[in-house]
A = this chain, B = another copy of it.
Amino acid sequence: MTETTRSLAPEPLLLADLSSPETQDLLPRIELVLVPVGAHEQHGPNIAVSTDTISADALCRAAAALVGLAVAVAPAIPWGVSWHHLRFAGTIPLRQSTLIAVLEDIVGSLYGHGLRRFLVVNGHGGNNAAITTAVEQIKHDMGVPLIASVFGYALIAEQAKMLLPPEAIGHGGGDEAAVVMAVEPHRAKPSAFAAPRLTGLQVETAALLRAYGGTLARRYDEVTHNGATGDATSASAEIGRQILDGAARRLAEIIAVVLREADAADESLAGMNGERH
């Protein structure tokens, strides 16, 4: 593999753009496939139900454009594990088993085409357990050489904390609203921007269990009356562009580490095999 395969490219490589012969030609140059996973779930009055899909997909595209042809982007999974938001209109959740099956089907077929490294980029916290389960099952059952996940929202929140007041950070908050305003402006609802209306219930329980690696299973209407936990009123498209730009650069750095260390691991394994023979 030569350095040129990781050169900068202005446009991301999207699998959905390619014909089959084009895919065939590019396969040897693709070192990593990003699989964005979103959600179709309520985000309070501030932003559309497609928010997490927008942010995961935009983050993958931006990072892939930075890295170049070595990284391809699969079509985003436009729903996620959102059972806890079902009492708010518009939420379309997948069962955990359905999301796992979709990921198995996507990665399994691309692996069959010869691709070897996969990074699931997740836009919705509720997906984390199902995605972890899926990547571990895929690793064990299919023997895929590299399969990993990253919580894309953590990358966005990291940037947002430098650009927005603390109360803006949260579900349906200013961090997410800014990204939507930057990418799909008609899916942000600035005239309805509002602060969250929290129930205040079981706050210490949830924090304690999370601090000790656990979870309190709750419906979101047990958490917030208006569906949001962040305040969107400080969001702007410009801030959204800065968030996305910073998060994409960080993701590109992570990808560089992933590929470099995976190459090293492959060489280490080949070396061990070489010694044996």
List residues of chain A with CB under 8 Å of any chain B CB: 15-24, 27, 40, 42-50, 53, 74-76, 78-79, 81, 83-84, 86, 88-98, 101-102, 105-106, 109-110, 112-113, 120, 122, 125, 128-130, 132-133, 135-140, 146-151, 153-155, 158, 186-187, 189, 192, 199, 201-205, 208-209, 211-219, 222, 227, 254, 257-258, 261-262, 264-265, 268
Contact = CB atoms under 8 A, between A and B. Distances in A.
Contact of A261 (B21, B40, B138, B204): B204
Contacts of A209: 148-150, 254, 258
27 contacts: A15-B49, A16-B78, A17-B50, A19-B46, A19-B47, A19-B49, A20-B227, A21-B45, A22-B90, A40-B75, A79-B105, A81-B136, A83-B140, A86-B112, A91-B109, A94-B101, A96-B137, A98-B98, A102-B102, A120-B214, A122-B213, A135-B215, A136-B217, A139-B219, A154-B213, A202-B265, A209-B258
Contacts of A201: 261, 264-265, 268
A222 B265 contact: yes
Nearest to A105: B94
The number of times this chain is found in the oligomer is 6
Contacts of A122: 213-214
Given A92-B106, A98-B102, A205-B258, A19 B40 contact: no
The 5 closest A-B CB pairs, nearest first, are A151-B213, A23-B90, A20-B42, A139-B217, A150-B214
A266 to B, nearest CB: 10
